[in-house]
Structure 1
Amino acid sequence: MPSAHYLPLDPQASDADDLEEEEGQQEHRTSMNNNQYNIRYHPQPAVDYDVVVDDDDNDDDRTPTMGKAPRLSRSIPSRRRCWIMPIMLLVPFCIVFLYFMLSSQTLGLGTSLEDVDDDYEPHNDSPNTHALNETLHICSESHEDGRLYVQDKPSSAYAQLPVIYFVTPTYPRREQIPELTRLAHSLLHVPRLHWLVANDHERCDTYMDILLNRFGIPFTHMASPMPHKFRNSKPAPRGVANRRAALQWIRQHNLTNGVLYFGDDDNTYDLRLFTEIRQTQRVSMFPVGLIADYAVSGPVVRDGKVVAFLDSWVAARRWPVDMAGFAVNLGYMSLYPNVNMPYKPGYEEDLFLRSIGLHIDQIEPRGNNCTEILVWHTQTKNKKSPVVRLEKKYLDGRSNLGALFRSLKVMGVAFASDTEGPLATISKNGKGKPHSYFLS
């Protein structure tokens, strides 16, 4: 009799013929193969029970284990083997096939110029499949254009032009303020521009607020520090947190009219660049000078269409371009809610352009069909801010040195100390004199 824990199943009307046939063949199957059983579950005394081993001896007690369903025999009827075996053979083949397919895509193998025109899904990196959710720290902001004249015309003369949102990632160093100042004097000539300055700093920089206000260019100054977990990475994803913050600012303001451009603070810009990118419909591209081994990076154009790219570091990137080598229409970018720039050094441009579903046929070549250089990847050699030894008692109002070094300290350019660094030399008529000679 079955255990009280396993109630017999009542056969369904549709199963009557099968049940009668199985009962008629039970004796025949047992005699042909003792390892084959009926796989339909009908609890009855003949069920294969779990084996319970007594701790005192090794005799098998074939009593059912309470709370568990009876264990069916592991042997499989031959009629099931006929379709299980092909599946078992097919699964390893599929795994190997998928491995080679994914490997070839990752390494950039098997890709021809014709393949570039195929549709594809954006890059499947996990940071790239979700919308940005950055916390914004806005330090100061001005939407008013304080310039009365731009290129000898009043600012109101340009009211119908699309706005260029010029994103500049920057970080504290002794060259930061002079480079922002130099860049600002280029942007002063560009009408209808909003400058998004994202500083890699934990706190807002008051001096930078004053500086940006002084230029009169509409701007937003934000603090966008790199996450601590990336700071010790080699290489570190520099500028990513800054650009992500700017993208989040654009999203929060629901901007769908205008052009986005990423412009580093140490680049050199031809003013014609801004006229070229302002009419971007989807994504425009152009060559950038002084990039890596070829001293240039940019699209290859044939018959007015971008067909490939010239860059000395391909690295399986679908879009091997420099950050300063493209501009994006905000209306087009707004169609992709998961626009992103993951923290992956060397692949920031590629993964950003993948996240907006860019197709090579959509690229608009600029710069006279990419024959002219309108932006240069110039770089200032960074040096550590020096410490100059000056007697503190002389850094008061009796000379300009006190105010001068306080200003240099605020900008991060140089520091004065009573005890550290080389002794500052003050000279007259070609001869160095003690500080007291001039300042006491």
Structure 2
Amino acid sequence: MVRVSVTKGMVVAVLVLESFYLLASLKKLADLEEECEGKSQKAVADNRQVKEEAWPPIYIITPTYKRTTQIADMTRMSQTLMHVPNLHWIVVEDALKTSDVVRELLVRSGLPFTHLCATMPDEYKDKPMMGKGVFNRREGIRWLRENAREGVLYFADDDNSYDIRLFEQMRTTRKVSVFPVGMILSLGVSSPIIRDGKVVGFHDAFQAGRKFAVDMAGFAINLRVLHANPDATIPLRLSYLEDGFLRRLRIELEDLEPLAWGCTQVLVWHTKTHRPGTPKMEHIAHTDFDTNLVELYNNMLR
């Protein structure tokens, strides 16, 4: 029989080798786990991208006009819309020609966009009870009829605030979807009244014989409905734009689809930016003409 003398050094060497082997095995397991997690995350991202690409596109029509708060309002809105996939922004300026400053903002947003302009014809300018933004919205609708067949239309003013969940929900619109609008008129909210999942009326401070007492921000339309009614457009009468348009689309109360969890939550608000003082070059002191203020004011006054 051969007797092997095991020394303390040999034991230490074996333990060190086992430790290295264990550490190598643990690292390999960690790398494998990280690789699997990465593949899983990529699969989830790929599935989401495929799902988003299959979603119906949303076409946002936004009338806008030159004012002190315009770029601030549109910047806030654009950075909300940047989080919404498969969206096309149609911005219609109230002007005889589109402006460079608005186009630059649209380009910076990275959103697919169409930049148009329209203004009220002279024969309507002195008439009372004319609705605001009528011809801007009509121009957006004209573009849609010529360039889009499938998707959802939503009128979104540039000074409102939007929860991106609203855009997720309105993609399901089959005919016309409706939802509450917050911070509006004396009631502080305009909302469809829902009973047993159906729209039975409207909770709105301005009823005035309107069949559809809704705000412009309170409904979305499937483009198939728009194309099925080629003569439907925004009427001229102040306060009756929404009601008149939905009537011309031959919509009935039973066609309305309540969103926002049965119209129990507000996902869009009529926020208004406080009107500040208007920057003017004469506000700059003569001693500051060699500073940044001149370029700053020139940029604001474009």
TM-score by length of 1: 0.56
Q: Partner of 2:95 in structure 1? A: 201
Distance in 2 of aligned mates of 1:153 and 1:401: 46
Query: What is the aligned partner in structure 1 of residue 70 from structure 2?
Result: 176
Q: For 2:139 and 2:45, how far apart are their aligned partners in 1?
A: 33
1:156 CA displacement: 4.5
Q: How much does 1:383 deviate?
A: 4.8
CA distance in 2, matches of 1:203, 1:393: 37
Q: Secondary structure at the residue paired with 1:159?
A: helix
Q: How far 1:382 sits from its partner (Å)?
A: 3.0
Q: Kindly report the root-mean-square deviation, in angstroms, between the aligned alpha carbons of the 2 structures.
A: 1.9
Q: 1:289 aligns with which of 166, 174, 182?
A: 182
What is the Cα deviation at residue 232 of structure 1? Answer: 4.0
CA-CA distance at 1:299 after TM superposition: 0.8
Residue in 2 that maps onto 1:71: none
| Contact in 1 for aligned 2:92/2:140 (Cα 8 Å) | yes
- Tell me the percent identity: 41
Matches of 2:298 and 2:287, distance apart in 1: 14
Q: Give the CA deviation at 1:331.
A: 1.2
In the alignment, which residue of structure 2 is the partner of 1:260? 153
Alignment of 1:139-154 (within 5 A): 153=45
Query: How has the CA–CA distance of structure 1 residues 387 and 403 changed in structure 2, closer, same or farther, with 3 Å as cutoff?
Result: closer
1:299 equivalent in structure 2: 192
Question: Could you tell me which residue of structure 2 aligns to residue 406 of structure 1?
Answer: 298
What is the match of residue 240 of structure 2? Answer: 347
Alpha-carbon separation, structure 2, partners of 1:153 and 1:185: 22
Contact 1:226–1:238 (Cα < 8 Å) also in 2: no
- Tell me the alpha carbon deviations over residues 190-224 of structure 1, each in whole angstroms, 9 at most, x when there is no partner: 00000011110112201111111011000011111
What is the alpha-carbon distance in structure 1 between the residues aligned to residue 80 and residue 59 of structure 2?
15
2:169 is the alignment partner of 1:237:
no
Which of the pair has more CA radius of gyration?
1
Q: Is the CA contact (8 Å cut-off) linking 1:299 and 1:306 kept in structure 2?
A: yes
* Aligned residue identity for 2:249: I
Alpha-carbon displacement from aligned partner over 1:337-375 (angstroms, at most 9, x marks no partner)? 111112111100001001100011111011111111111
Amino acid at match of 1:292: L
Structure 1 residue 315: Cα displacement: 1.0
Cα drift, residue 318 of structure 1: 0.9
Amino acid aligned to 1:295: G
1:222-261, CA deviations, whole angstroms, 9 ceiling, x for partnerless residues? 11112233334445421111100000001112x2210000
Q: How does 1:56-135 map to 2 (within 5 A)?
A: none
Between the aligned partners of 2:193 and 2:266, the Cα distance in structure 1 is: 14
Q: Which runs of 5+ in 1 are unaligned?
A: 1-151, 411-440
Give the equivalent residue in structure 2 for 1:189. Answer: 83
- Deviation of 1:402 after TM superposition, in Å, equals 1.9
Q: What one-letter code is carried by the residue in structure 2 that aligns with 1:160?
A: A
User: How much has 1:264 moved relative to structure 2?
Assistant: 0.6
Give 1:359's aligned amino acid.
E
Distance in 2 between the 1:316 and 1:213 partners?
A: 43
Please give the per-residue CA displacement for 1:388-438, whole angstroms capped at 9, x wherever unaligned.
Answer: 42366953xx4212211110111xxxxxxxxxxxxxxxxxxxxxxxxxxxx
Secondary structure of 1:204 counterpart: coil
SS at match of 2:54: coil
Q: Alpha-carbon deviations, 1:67-99, whole Å to 9, x = none?
A: xxxxxxxxxxxxxxxxxxxxxxxxxxxxxxxxx
Pair 1:327 & 2:220 matched: yes
How far apart, in 2, do the equivalents of 1:198 and 1:277 lie?
A: 22
**Cα 1:260–1:372 shift into 2, 3 Å:** same
Residue of structure 2 equivalent to 1:128:
none
Deviation at 1:280, TM superposition (A): 0.2
Is it true that 1:161 corresponds to 2:55 in the alignment? yes
Partner Cα separation in structure 1 for residue 270 and residue 235 of structure 2: 22
Question: Which residue does the alignment assign to 1:212?
Answer: 106
1:364 aligns with 2:257: yes
Structure having greater relative contact order (Cα 8 Å, sep ≥ 6) = 2
